[in-house]
Amino acid sequence: MLFPYTYVPHSMEKMQWHINFIFFQVWCRAKGKDYDIEVLFADNEELCEIITELHFSQLKGAEFFLTGLQQVFEDFKKLEDTDIEILKRRYCANNCVDLLCANDSSVKPATYKDVKKISVDLSQHLEGFFKNLYSQSFLSLVSISKRIGEIDNHYAVFMGKNVSGKCPFCGINDVKGNYHTKREAYDHYLPKGTYPFNSINFRNLAPACHECNSSYKLVQDPLYNAKDPLLAQTGGRRKSFYPYQANKYTVEFKISLNSHDWTNIQPTDIELYTGPNEFREELDTWLDVYGIEERYKAKCCAENDGKYWIEQVLDECQNDGKTPEQIFNTLARQAKLKPYAEANFLKSSFLQACNKKGLFTLPYII
Ligand SMILES: [Zn+2]
């Protein structure tokens, strides 16, 4: 991604703490016990109240939660101690999103398929539980929202800190901020259909523009490359940018153009290079998961983007008496100051490529 978000603490994190309690204190200690809510949740008063209220309310949005709690409890009672220890390690690993993104050797991500090898029933029941945890029908239940807060409030606080107004995954689309009444959807960076245990962990949830989330990334897994046959042979594990990475970095762009006909530039006429190589693996994952090359090339070819950028330079040269160099100097300064305003990072690289190809030198000026 082009730049990381700043992580924003919020009361909604409480749900993850409750899930930690459920996993370690209730499920992992299920052996030899009866499913008695008052006894099992005695050390977590708030969670006990939530479960009791949901139980008596019999609301539809709570069914999966109450059923899943007990089903997984019964599944854990049948597990060997060694399998419980494995699951504990996998729970911790799946919630260390930063280390998983860095492909740190101390953590190994666990999928539902991995859990299936231990118990088919457990995998199925965990899937039903964790996939539904982050759902509007559950989080908006009064028993939940009055205690942990609301997702719309989380978004408002989040966007109060992350004010760029641009999607960090593509840098070319807007994300709705606090001047809008609507909001963007949160993407499960590690897909909730693949990985158990982290569907309500806000370190794994990041607002993204609709195009990034729903047209390009979809359920793609940033941790594994399943498309490249060479990588797939070795498991395809790869590094990925972590959405809340604390270390700042700058993605470098260079474009080269293989056409003189600026009125009819095609994506195949454009070559896009990214850097620095220090982040080669993270950059390749990002390019792959978000379809970046296709989208940036399409933007450079678009009538009201790339072609308009060229027309602007030609217009300012012909009518304002400016030279291309003067225009590029201004643009380079603006791109450094505000790289994501008006896609300056892409615009400046593209126009430099056009200039190098001689598009702003006679006889190519039209
Ligand atoms: Zn985007």
Q: Tell me how far the alpha carbon of residue 255 lies from the centroid of ligand 1, in angstroms.
A: 20
Alpha carbon of 254 to ligand 1 centroid (Å): 20
Cα–ligand 1 centroid distance for 337 (angstroms): 21
Instruction: Calculate mean pLDDT across residues 71-88.
Output: 98
Q: Does the pLDDT value for residue 105 go beyond 90? A: yes
CA 17 to centroid of ligand 1, rounded, Å: 30
3-state secondary structure of 143: helix
CA atoms within 13 Å, Cβ hemisphere of 87: 27
User: What is the average per-residue pLDDT within 212-232?
Assistant: 88
Separation of CA 173 and ligand 1 centre (Å): 5
> What are the residues facing 257 on neighbouring strands?
270
b (16+ CB within 10 A) / e for 261-290? ebeebeeebbebebeeeebeebbbbbebbb
Residue 272's contacts (CB-CB under 8 Å, 6 or more residues apart) are 253, 254, 255, 292, 293, 296, 297
Residue 257: which region, alpha, beta or left (left: phi > 0; alpha: psi -120 to 50)? beta
**If you average pLDDT over residues 73-92, what whole number do you get?**
98
Say how many Å lie between the CA of residue 290 and the centre of ligand 1: 8
How many angstroms is it from 214 CA to the middle of ligand 1? 10
Query: What residues contact residue 309 under an 8 Å CB cut-off, 6+ apart?
Result: 347, 350, 351
Q: Could you tell me the distance, in angstroms and rounded to a whole number, from the CA of residue 210 to the centre of ligand 1?
A: 7
> Distance from the CA of 20 to the center of ligand 1, in angstroms?
31
Q: Is the peptide bond before 222 cis (omega within 30 degrees of 0)?
A: no
pLDDT in tens, 17-61: 999 999 999 999 999 999 999 999 999 999 999 999 999 998 889
Contact status, residue 295 vs residue 302, Cβ threshold 8 Å: no
Average pLDDT over residues 103-132: 97
